[in-house]
Each structure stands twice: as C-alpha cells, then as structure tokens.
Amino acid sequence: MKRQLILPELPACSCVKLTSKQGLPYWFRTCDLHSSVWDAGAHVVSFPAGTDIPVSVGSLRTRYPILGITYNGQDSWLLDGINSEGLTGGLLLLEEGTSVSRPQDGYTGVMGMELVTALLAVCRDIAEVCDAARTIRIVDIPIEGGNVPATMHYFFADAAGHTAVLEAADPARPGQLQVYHADSIGVMTNSPPYPRQLDNLRWFLSQSPELHRGGDDCPITQPAWEGVRLTGDPGVPHLTQSGVLPASYAPYDRFVRLAVLKALNHDGRWMEDGQMLPLGSGLMRTVFEPHSRGVYHYRALDAAGMPTGSRDGYTQYTVMYDLHRRELYLQPYDATAWTRVALQDCSSAGIEYHPLSRDAPGGVVNSRSIG
C-alpha cells in the first residue's frame, strides 16, 4: 500500500526529562522543522483502549489509551505522546539510522515513524519498552514520493522517572534497536548516536574546569556523570575550553547545553510541581529556534569549506507531558498560551481530535473550553 509522502527536511528536535521536588517526572520537547507541521496535517489526537490503528506493517490495537501529536494526517505517526500508564515517548531525527526491507522471522517489523505509537499502545513502562524493542526491526515502507526514512531515534520516560533511548544505528545490525538507559542524563537531541553524544558531553566537561568549582555538592560533579571516557570527538571542533556553553543549534551543542543546564538546575528537584512548566519551558528556550532567515542547518561543505544545501528551520511547538497526571501542555510557535489536554478527559468511545489555543493572551487554556 502506498500513501502520499509529506516529509520535513532537516528536523532538529530536543528532549529533556525533569523531576520535581515531589519526585514526579515531566517530559519536554521542542519539534523543529523548516515548514509548518500544522500545515502538513499535524494534530493533537487521543485513542481509547481497544482502538485498531491502521499501520504499515501488520496490525495494532491499543491496550492503553494514548494522547499525543500526530503528523502528516496519519494517526499512526505519533511525533510524541503519553499513555494511561504515564509512559511517554517521542521520535527525533538520527541521520545514522538503519533499517531493513523486511524483518527476519521471529521479529516484528515496525516503520520508524510508527514506533512511538506501537510502543505506547502496548507498553506500561520502560522495562516493557526495552523488552519489546528486542523483538522489533525497523523497516522501510515504500510511499509515493519516496521511502519513509528510518533515520529516527526515540526517547522514552515512564511514571517512575526511568528513561531510555532507542537507536537502530549499527550498520552491521540494520534495523535492530539498541537500548541505552538514560536516567542519569535525561536528554536527547539528534545526530550523532547517543554514545557519541555522551563522549562529546564528557569531553566538554573535561575542558571546562570552572564547571567543577562547586565542590562535591555541584550536580555536574556527581558520579552519575562519570564512567564514560573523557574523550573528544574530532568532528566537533567548536566545543570550547572556556567553560562557555556551546551556542549553535547543532545537535551536539544542543545536547551539551541542555544536559549542563539541566544538571545545574538539579534536574528540577528544587522546584514544586506547579513550577515545572515555567522551569522546563525556560530550559527549552535555550534550544528554541526562532522563525527567521538567520538560523540554518547545513548538509555539507563545498571544496572551499563553505556550507552548502542550507535550509532555515524553526521550532514548530514546545510540549510538556506531566507523567503523573497524564496531561499534555502544548504551545505552538505562533501562540503565547499553552493548551492543556488531560488524557482522563478524552473520549472513551473513539478517536478524538483536540483544538489548540492560538489567540489567548497567555497562561494555560483547557482544550475543552475552546469553541
């Protein structure tokens, strides 16, 4: 079966998981593309338990209700979402992603754009996500206009605060998901793969002694951030030795920036639950891309070392998921208010699409109150 393909170029997204003073987890994300996701058919959607969702390979029935943001008018293409158990996940671009044309016997084939939906539909927590990932192979599905890229990786968190990154980035094992438990960092952006992101982070810290001057109580010096060799990535020459946070919108710079700022804010643990939306949205502003002609992503360099194939991108939306209350707070680029959707308020009779506030002067607007 072929479907019309409308795919964004050069997505640049960032995720972070924070924990409040009360020990409750919150998951934040920016979705950054060069063209409007809303014009491309994105919407906030909820699925009750027992919903049959059309997917590209096999069939999918939801064990748990789901609330999230879908793309391209495809209900199965969740960019991010949460289920009734508090499991939350999202997909982000990974240039190094791999896939297979068909899964081996004994494995379940899942299209990359549908993995978040597939796991939220049937998994309760990170342990079940990890178990399911071992049985899955990422597959390419022919679609009119090209193949849906397998170049994604995935960041999940559950109601207990555990997190995991899933990547199929090993060319020797195409389509096979590797699981990285990411509780100590709780950050994800885009390429390179997660292990190299950690190496870049450790290298940056090793070149920034002033970040360690807080003594043993400084979150940057805690043991959770040790254990990976302090090695640099020669492909990332602009990590500084001055302690200044890297300022570009490149994925490795956004990763370092978010990880360090998250740690310096003690992962959010000195903030009350009611303060997590302003804290997390403030952190996400450090990776927020304005809609202008001044922020570019480059595909390659020419013979003279000048960037080629540039496209400007911008942040389409920022979203917070409250994993304890099973709520979504969404702020599109062109809105000042946050739209709140609670999974417990969603229809149990069928798929439901939820309106967004774009003209409220600020604050939080319940989706149910929008006419």
- State the chain's mean pLDDT as an integer: 82
pLDDT, tens only, 20-54 = 999 999 999 999 887 788 888 889 999 999 999 98
Residue reference for tokens 């699981």? 179
Q: How far lies 185's CA from each of 17, 62, 208, 290, 328, in Å?
A: 9, 30, 18, 26, 23
Residue 213 lies in a domain: no
Whichever domain contains 84, its CATH number is: 3.60.60.10
Residue 73 lies in a domain: yes
Residue 262 lies in a domain: no
The domain tally of the chain equals 1
Residue 62 lies in a domain: yes
How confident is the model at residue 2, as a pLDDT?
37
pLDDT, tens only, 121-170 = 999 999 999 999 999 999 887 555 555 555 789 999 999 999 999 999 99
Contact 87, 123 (CB under 8 A): yes
Residue 4 lies in a domain: no
Residue 201 lies in a domain: no
Model-level pTM?
0.86
Residue 50 lies in a domain: yes
Identify the domain containing residue 38 by its residue range: 14-192+267-369
pLDDT, tens only, 202-235 = 777 766 655 544 444 444 444 344 333 333 344 4
Which has the closest alpha carbon to 190: 307, 283, 97, 306? 97
C-alpha span between 45 and 29 (Å, rounded): 17
Residue 348 lies in a domain: yes
Task: Give the tokens for residue 279.
Answer: 């804290």
